[in-house]
Amino acid sequence: MKRYKMTVEYLGTNYSGWQSQAKGVGVQQIIEATLSEFFKTDIKIHGSGRTDKGAHAKGQVAHFDIDTKIKEYNIIRAVNLILPSDIQIQNLEIVDNNFHSQYDAKSKVYEYKAYISKYERPTLEVDHARIIPPIDMNLIREKAKLLVGTHDFKAFCAVGSAIKDTTRTIYSIDVLEHDGEIIFRFEGNGFLYNMIRIIVGTLVFLGKGAIAKDSIEKMLETGDRDYGGKTYAAKGLTLKEVKY
């Protein structure tokens, strides 16, 4: 039996996130069904982790086991013809049978894309959130630095989450701006449910003066979600890369 490491790109607009769902359709379900059809046997895949409903991925990683002599390139080409156009395999390689896409991951890189405009820009609306000006980008960059490092991110997790350990490490946060478009780039050892979207919403609210300037400090100190800004839309979020 061979273990395959698979890198997948998808536009999450039409899906209920990565994970298979009892209600709604997850990207995982679509890929499992397609691989099972192609190989004519039941295939289960194991992803590096969940993504939110409506969020996207350029570098989601999963693994599966199959005994086949078909070359990797031919598997990708054939399976991509069966998959919907908004889900496509980008790479496939044979790895050690002990490899695990979730447990062996060292870090993940996410990007959250937004644009600053008084009006909607149709070409950006698919995978960007809109920020209505004015906004203080210097303050946003300054406050983002407070989140780098190991912290209890309880206040940056969706209310009602069952996760008990809310401590995570963020290795870097970069805030890039060009021609009215903004990319918030995060790398960390893991992220809580809605964590990046809450961080972005809080930073944007800070930049617009909608919440107190010490809101992030208060959130880290108290674990109280109420100090933060709103959870920004999932459509701006993309899983860029999983590092091993």
pLDDT tens digit sequence for 143-201: 999 999 999 999 999 876 778 899 999 999 999 999 999 999 999 999 999 999 999 99
Domain span(s) for CATH 3.30.70.580 in the chain: 2-95
d(CA 148, CA 144): 7
Q: Is the pLDDT of residue 38 over 90?
A: yes
What percentage of the chain has pLDDT greater than the value 90? 95
- Summarised one tens digit per residue, pLDDT across range 210-233 is 999 999 999 999 999 999 999 999
17 and 193 Cβ atoms separated by less than 8 Å: no
| pLDDT value for 22 | 74
The pLDDT of 95-104, averaged and rounded, is 98
Q: DSSP readout, 12-79?
A: GGGSS-SS--SSS--HHHHHHHHHHHHHTS----EES----TT-EEEEEEEEEEE---S-HHHHHHHH
Average pLDDT of the residues of the chain:
96
Fold of 2-95: Alpha-Beta Plaits (3.30.70)
Per annotation, catalytic residue among 42, 52, 65, 96 = 52
Q: Which of 29-38, 104-113, 119-128, 158-167 has the lowest mean pLDDT?
A: 158-167
| pLDDT value for 133 | 96
Domain span(s) for CATH 3.30.70.660 in the chain: 107-243
Catalytic residue flag (residue 52) = yes
Q: Is this model's pTM higher than 0.85 or not?
A: yes
Q: Alpha helix (H) ranges present in the chain?
A: 27-39, 72-82, 137-144, 195-207, 215-222
Fold of 107-243: Alpha-Beta Plaits (3.30.70)
